[in-house]
Amino acid sequence: MKKKFIASLLGGGVLSIAATAAGSALAGEHPALEIMRDTCTACHTVDADQRFSRIAGQRKSPEGWLMTLARMRTVHDVELSADEVRTLVKYLADTQGLAPAETEGARYGLERRLNTMEEFASQEFTEMCARCHSGARVLLQRRTADEWEHLVHFHLGQWPTTEYQYLARDRDWLPIALNTMVPWLAENLPKDSEAWKAWQERTPTPVTGQWSLAGNQPGKGAFHATMTVEAAAGEDVYAVSLDGLYADGSALRGSGQALLYTGFEWRANLDIDGVATRQVFALDGDRLTGRMFQREHDEVGADVVAARQDAGRAQVLAVQPAYLKAGEETRIAIVGAGLSGEPQLPQGVEVLEVLERSPTRMVLRARADAAANGVHSVRVGDAEGGSLAVYERIAAVRVLPEFSVARVGGNGGSTPPVQGLFEAEAWAEGPDGEYRIGVVPATWSVTPFDEQADHDGDVRFAGVMDADTGMFMPAAAGPNPERRMMTNNAGNLNVIAEVADGDQTLNGQAQLIVTVQRWNNPPIP
């Protein structure tokens, strides 16, 4: 229930914001300020410029502000209705949010890419901040030096055992946090920045109209769709509908509602083919990029890129599939916006027939010869942006992600299982070294990761791999009487992708940890 409630606050149920705003219009101020004066001033002071102590010294993403308000409600018993939370998140994200440039490199946290392996140049940041939660949670906020210092003290006050945990008890944690990390954070993640100043002075970008959308969902494949966006009641509130197809011909249809925060943070709740789905996109002019995923299974999702069709700029969004094998005929689709004119493929690739043609999609039957080996750009008239790989033989197969975590669940409990989804990525050898072919079909299996996993029967107990889709379904949660010491269905597995290429068969391998439920599941991990 908590997960559904949080999801509904960002991108759903936003009509209440419009109603609240209408009720306060006569007062000449944003309704959020009234809520804050009524609710927050019990602990926060407010000055003549409507700056609230502590609050004014921070900037965050919509999810960051939602987490702050959730903490106020759960830890400090602040009484806020769901409508009031939505109003506050919208106001705070718009007035004290992040510029697009300030979210670069950390958007995986917002997009729920939970198998991302974080690496940071600062070892101290890794050990002091990213040992308990993702580094992205820190990178997606900005504070004054005083507020960064307050955050250190808050950690010790809220979690007194912090100094005695791993990578803290073996050093003078508090002096390092105050004297090293606070100055570093204040310099690298400052409250005031040129990027935020410039973003506040921007010209708003229109989002209504039709969007050409392309994506790829592991276990399901590539898809294309038209996304129609219409203004709804309320500031930055939109009605959204999707109509498209997967590469296998199955339909992709849905509708719902979206809200735009900070002028670029697109959040939507949709019902797609009967499944509650979230969109977390970033708006950049006439393009949207990000991830679309199931609300109850955020591991099941798709990378998405979209372009507004009436923006006046022709562009290629994707080539599906993005590869050709030399000597074979292949049906490929070029998805984009404003497509007109003839397809321009690399030398050595012959267009045998144009099967379909529209401003958003062109379907071709093509053949390539070995002279075209490599990765090449693809154009349609003046539209560019896609790429096509041509290869003779696959040289290597890599499984993505290289390391993944799945979680047991269900079995009468409140937490559903977290699946593992994998793709086989093919690579070829060229004169300048390896180059990426793309995601190719594979036959999937799992084996024990090591002798201990073999001894414990992890392959038998941890779950089942779908041989065709690369989707691993973990076993049920709870003690298992069939296992040694009645332990749960955890496991340590190798994920094997077997790819056939002519007369050769290649294997790729990744590691999958199957572990216990994820009880704490905040918007930013």
Domain boundaries of the chain, sorted by first residue: 1-98, 209-308, 315-391, 396-515
Token pair of 433 as six digits: 């070294």
Rg (the chain; Cα; Å): 25
CA distance linking residue 337 with residue 176, whole number of Å = 52
Provide the greatest CA pair distance for the chain: 77
CA distance 74 to 59: 21
Give the span between the Cα atoms of 30 and 48, in whole angstroms: 15
Peptide bond into 206 cis (omega under 30): no
pTM: 0.92
> Which CATH class name applies to 315-391?
mainly beta
Strand-pair partners of 275: 272
Handedness of CA 134, 140, 145, 146 (dihedral sign): negative
Q: How many CB atoms lie within 10 A of CB 476?
A: 16
- Partnered with residue 301 across adjacent β-strands are 293
Apex CA 17: angle with CA 13 and CA 19, to 5°?
A: 105
Q: Strands, E, within 172-264: which ranges?
A: 209-217, 221-231, 237-246, 251-261
Q: State the DSSP code for 299.
A: T
Q: How would you write the pLDDT of the chain (525 residues) with one tens digit per residue?
A: 445 545 556 765 444 444 444 444 434 689 999 999 999 999 999 998 889 999 999 999 999 999 999 999 999 999 999 999 999 999 999 999 999 999 999 999 999 999 999 999 999 999 999 999 999 999 999 999 999 999 999 999 999 998 888 888 888 999 999 999 999 999 999 999 999 999 999 999 999 999 999 999 999 999 999 999 999 988 899 999 999 999 999 999 999 999 999 999 999 999 999 999 999 999 999 999 999 999 999 999 999 999 999 988 999 999 999 999 999 999 999 999 999 999 999 889 999 999 999 999 999 999 998 778 999 999 999 999 999 999 999 999 999 999 999 999 999 988 999 999 999 999 999 988 999 999 999 999 999 999 999 999 999 999 999 999 999 999 999 999 999 999 999 999 999 999 999 999 999 999 999 999 988 899 999
Q: Which CATH number fits domain 396-515: 2.60.40.10, 2.40.110.10, 3.40.1210.10, 2.30.30.40?
A: 2.60.40.10
SS3 of residue 464 by DSSP: strand
Domains 315-391 and 396-515 share a fold: yes
Q: What are residue 95's phi and psi, to 5 degrees?
A: -95, -25
- Span 209-308: which CATH code? 2.40.128.120
By residue count, the chain amounts to 525
SS3 35: helix
